Structure 1
């Protein structure tokens, strides 16, 4: 029996042991602890030949820890053929390679895979193998964070152009026209600051609408909101989108104002405000979801749902920045 047949006989019609969690980009220690607890639970409650997949959701991608061949048996067959060509027939053994896979949720992303020992070694020498797995996961998390920063820099660059457009429009109006358009008096001395605020809100809206589009197309589809909330996987994915959106907005302000005259104080303050803001966001999102569920047949406008949650948070972040700039 070749390796493909061997794995097919193991994986066909066998339930896959799955688990997952969200990696807070500001809590490396917490992520390491969750990873250790999850893998330890696997080792204590399953066998070494159990098909399993551990998923770590990140701000712009996902990391999977799983046996090679779980998603594609052809991958395992290719690996075995290459190993035999390199080491000869004596390389045969029953160990199934363990792979850590990082997939960025960006256009033209490259899926990166690294083999870290075998599943049997994880079960027989947990501490040694966990250290090796964590080294790879940690590096993937750093790659993910760099990706997040790059995305923020693109938004910041766009905001500079948008600010110029707003400022030019405001300068082209007289005081009365500005008041009629905006509903309040905008002094000449405040135009630069207000145009920067409007540009920031423009970028925030782009992040929010992108998250709403993903939610509609990848999570909800043709289902009702109630169906999504009643399905554990769909519900968890939706709340991952909420956390992800929060961090994209938070890091937009952190990266944009890092180089301001009081940038160090601003960044420190925003980090400090994060804990309360994300708790309030989750509570607000949950309460709004519960209100929608009062009518099980309601179709939720995800653009409005996410906008109502995140625009006030963005306005609060902008207000926190102003405390140091004024």
Structure 2
């Protein structure tokens, strides 16, 4: 039941901001008239793809690992991720002097696997179609003699850490004299969007927060509409690897059910076009999952959002060079 869950609050996001200061960088807000014209609204695009490790995930990972007592750090951490959380955990672990082992799918983008290895993390590959990554991580941690499992999204401190992006965005928009009417952010398990929603609740409560997801994995949109967690149908495919999760998390949905306005869904073709537009107009690299929110905006917003000011988060830029080259060249 929702009332039995221990959920982070706006104050926990503020505490996380202090804890991760000096590790994360403040990422910029970018604009372009061509994107505004395509969306039918004024877009403020937060380029979190320029974050340390190439995505927002360092925020939650650092907040979680920094709270492990010194005595418990020697045993290290185990995480499971398709790549961006993996890199965030590996970097945070290296900065804190902890070993890290990451359970990653065998089809994870090479750039993400390489990022983990570059930060000294160990990688255990698994088959996402036939194996349970959470069970693998638990077994490895149990056999290690004390390693701590760090979930990718459904964790109190991970959510609070991801919410620091929302603090930044709300303050930046206010400093520009352009508070947001709406904000669109991609959603997989929901650690980022639930944390961002907490931040905006405290700093810009009038901003409506929307999820962006692939049409084949729109569990957030369906869950918000139903008022309860709805899982994706098995066997569905999308190239947005960073946001492929079975369903929202229990903690993240408890927050999202209260604070989110609804969900938007996009096709892989929409995402490819958004990646091209991000490159052409903003000069940034957006990975497929990371560009989903921009795709939801530039394909044309719902009528209720047209003529308003809309924040968009490009959450990551870790995409293999060959895939990115194909996208830019239109080899879909």
- Higher RCO structure (Cα 8 Å, ≥6 apart): 2
TM-score, normalized by length of structure 1? 0.24
Instruction: Name whichever structure is richer in strand by fraction.
Output: 2
TM-score, normalized by length of structure 2? 0.24
